[in-house]
Amino acid sequence: MSEVFTTAVLVAVGASAIRLAVPLLLAALGETFGQRSGVLNLGVDGIMLLGAFTGYYAVLKTDNVWLGLLAGALVGLVLGLASAVIAVTLKAEQGISGIGVFLFGLGMSDLLFQKLVGTPIPIDTFPQVDIPLLSDIPYVGEIFFQHSLVIYLAFLSIPVATFVINRTTFGMKIRAVGEYPDAADTLGVSVAGVRYATEIIGGTLAGIAGAVLAITLGIFQQNLTNGAGFIAIALVYFGAWRPTGVMLGALLFGFVNALVLELKTLDIIPRDFTNIAAMAPAIITILALVFVARRFRAPSALTKPFTRGK
Amino acid sequence: MSINLSHQQRRILAYSIPVLAVFAALIFGAVMLLLLGANPIEGYGEMFVGAFGSGDALIATILKATPLLFVGTGIVIAFRANVINIGAEGQMVLGGLFATIAALYLPEMPPIIMVPLILMAGLLGGALWGWIPGALKAYYRVNEILSTIMLNIVAVQLMNYLLRGPLIDPAEKAGTGIPQTERLMESADLPIIFGDRFHIGPVLAILGAIATYYLLWRTPLGYRLRAVGLSEHAARYAGIPVRRTIALALTLSGAFAGLAGAVLVFGSESHRMVTDGSTMGFTGSAGFNGIVAALLGGLHPIWTIPASFLFGGLIVGGQALQRAVQVPSALIVALNGLVVVFVVAADRYRVKLLSVDGRDQEIADDGKTPEGEDESALGSVYDAAPSGTDSYGQDEFYEDST
């Protein structure tokens, strides 16, 4: 066994963990905004799938990965807006309406793919950008500093999100609306307005997450995300509703996924057991939920639609 | 706005709202069909004929409605106890697996014993997969929406593992390796009532719905479930074992989904359990659509019967539509999603109509409170949480110091 875990393998697993963590990270970060304001968006996976297809299709047509990213973001923005209409204005039961959005995204992305593309054609992927000097550090450089630009940006978005949520007026409104919507409303904060904003941020980030996934893999297929959106939602709980916690969770999941992949290619996990290994993220999530539920508290208004004077 | 409506008119309007929501989703679908270059009027015509237009169509619709009714009935129980069960997909899978394993490993016995046995196995599988998130919610304050979603993922992987490995048909193992079991024992086939495929499943599902009506409105247990659903606080104050009741609500809900899974396997034409690698491939999304059927039925077990029938027609008709106008079947999944969104979004207006009604619909639905309710007060030594009305507890505030 010890020969298996050579430094080369470990470095490869580390680097791939970071790549695999990014779509989860972006989607979960968007969901964090929504949940801190009191809205649970269960449709993330559907939004990711449509973002992934749009991103893929845009790159296929224009050969420009950045346009692909933009296209994914736009689709996410529109779907985030739609989710806000459903959850905030129509006050739908958030635990279920999101499943509808997921099914819609699952079917629609597949439908569009079959109608517009048909057979999978590989597309350009994000160019790798080595960070000068840092990328030359042995091992560390390979793991952390030889990625594409989106990956660096995704990790930079974590401190930005932390700052926005904890240190800006907008962030304070988000937290107020998520914890004490009545009090926020009395002070003149538009509960619906803030929740629309966070849902749109969440949708946009989910769309970007999907596009990043498709453009990193260079391919689209039916159900490309394979439930990543749901894992992302769980990561928000996992990270106790804080961007840093969410990032650590995403990295852990990236690592588990990368490890399973690597062990599979090295034939350490027999083919028969790949399904068992694929349960790992879900089981870890459930265990983590038990742990988190004991220590942390969800935003009090989470999943509760706001009605004035009620 | 609708102050002048009579009580009866309000009720009718309230029950028709979800149906209107389905129509709204279909209008959306018509736009999609137009964009795909298909004629929506022709398509929806085919849909109606395909669902209700002939004896065969009706049988297909009723059979399709059966898992929806099982799941929907379970969803009603969960909802009445204020628990959201998104895990019926996984519970169906476990039900199917348990029943399949029973049929594979039990000795051959006459149908009169075998059929109840495999149904019981399915029920147990589903109940187990409902009990886990139920207990996690009740005793560890784990959000049931998330835990059930995660358990769906675990269930599908378990199914794929078992059907590709230990449970695979020996002939397939040697041959092409299609992940399916052998033809399960014939004495476990669901008895056919008439024709060549109308089995007892639909009858069982209807009986289950009726039994659930009695459970919820005529027994102390049902009273406890609804009391917890209306107000955890008040229920706790009345001495109802809140935690145990919550765990039980999800267990019962899962048990119904498990039955749906068993009926899917043993009422299928191949009489095997097969996987295409996805949960939906086995359940046909009945675990999600059952929620919609329950909402269409106004969260009432009896109304869920016609609601499931309608929704079954929608699915069977959708397949006919897809074949007739030659659009990819993914359209049906997308349309299905729209129906979920529209029905759920409209549900609030149903509740609103019922609640301005002068009396509290949820409690007064059927008049009497069950006898023997004080038995619940003797029930258990429920250790009340120090504080907190929500399931996450409020005893600890976390500092916001990221």
B399 touches chain A (CB under 8 A): no
Q: How far apart are CA B290 and CA B84, in angstroms?
A: 12
Closest CA to A151 of A69, A87, A224: A69
* pLDDT level of residue B148 (50, 70, 90 thresholds): very high
Residue B373 has pLDDT above 70, yes or no: no
Whether B142 and A289 lie within 8 Å, measured CB to CB: yes
* Token reading at A12: 């490869």
Domain residue ranges of chain B, discontinuous segments joined by +: 7-366
Q: Which chain B positions have a beta carbon within 8 Å of A178's beta carbon?
A: none
Which pLDDT score is estimated for B372?
Answer: 37
Q: Looking at the partner chain, which of A102, A230, A240 has a beta carbon nearest the beta carbon of B398?
A: A240
Chain B, 79-98: which have a CB under 8 Å from a chain A CB?
Answer: 84, 86
Which pLDDT score is estimated for B3?
Answer: 57
CA distances from A194 to A172, A173, B111, B247, B259 (A): 10, 7, 61, 35, 44
- Map residue B380 onto helix, strand or coil: coil
Whether B278 and A90 lie within 8 Å, measured CB to CB: no
DSSP B398: P
Q: How far is CA B273 from the centre of its chain?
A: 20
Which pLDDT score is estimated for B365?
Answer: 41
Stretch A13-33: mean pLDDT: 93
> Could you tell me what percent of chain A has a pLDDT over 90?
56
| CATH 1.10.3470 at B7-366, yes or no | yes
Decide: residue A180, CB within 10 A, 0-12 exposed, 13-18 middle, 19+ buried: middle
Distance from CA of B145 to the nearest CA of A (A): 7
Q: What is the pLDDT of residues A156-170, one digit of tens each?
A: 999 999 999 999 999
Whether A104 and B157 lie within 8 Å, measured CB to CB: no
Whether B348 and A240 lie within 8 Å, measured CB to CB: no
B291 touches chain A (CB under 8 A): yes
Least reliable range by pLDDT among A29-38, B80-89, B181-190:
B181-190
DSSP A267: T
DSSP secondary structure string for all residues of A155-215: HHHHHHHHHHHHHSHHHHHHHHHHH-HHHHHHTT--HHHHHHHHHHHHHHHHHHHHHHHHH
Least reliable range by pLDDT among A21-30, A138-147, A171-180:
A138-147
Q: How far apart are CA B162 and CA A275, in angstroms?
A: 9
Q: How far apart are CA A42 and CA A47, in angstroms?
A: 10
Distance from CA of B109 to the nearest CA of A (A): 32
A287 touches chain B (CB under 8 A): no
Place of tokens 């697993």: A13
Residue B42 has pLDDT above 50, yes or no: yes
Least reliable range by pLDDT among A241-255, A286-300, B144-158, B239-253:
A286-300
* pLDDT level of residue B356 (50, 70, 90 thresholds): low
Q: How far is CA A211 from the centre of its chain?
A: 11
Place of tokens 């399949």: B100
A100 touches chain B (CB under 8 A): yes
**A147 phi and psi angles, rounded to 5 deg:** -125, -175
Distance from CA of B199 to the nearest CA of A (A): 30
Taking one residue from A and the other from B, the number of pairs with CB-CB distance under 8 angstroms is 177
Q: Looking at the partner chain, which of B160, B340, B400 has a beta carbon nearest the beta carbon of A99?
A: B340
User: B359 Cβ partners below 8 Å, 6+ apart?
Assistant: none
Q: Looking at the partner chain, which of A114, A296, A298 has a beta carbon nearest the beta carbon of B328?
A: A114
Residue B400 has pLDDT above 70, yes or no: no
Whether A272 and B161 lie within 8 Å, measured CB to CB: yes
* pLDDT level of residue B386 (50, 70, 90 thresholds): very low
Distance from CA of A159 to the nearest CA of B (A): 9
Q: How far apart are CA B316 and CA B321, in angstroms?
A: 9
CATH fold of A7-295 reads ABC transporter involved in vitamin B12 uptake, BtuC (1.10.3470)
- Map residue A86 onto helix, strand or coil: helix
Which of A228-237, B15-24, B374-383 is the most confident on average?
A: A228-237
* pLDDT level of residue B385 (50, 70, 90 thresholds): very low
Q: Which chain A positions have a beta carbon within 8 Å of B161's beta carbon?
A: 272-273, 275-276
Q: How far apart are CA A211 and CA A68, in angstroms?
A: 7
Residue B342 has pLDDT above 60, yes or no: yes
A294 touches chain B (CB under 8 A): yes
Buried b (16+ CB within 10 A) or exposed e, B54-73: eeebbbbbbbbbbbbbbbbb
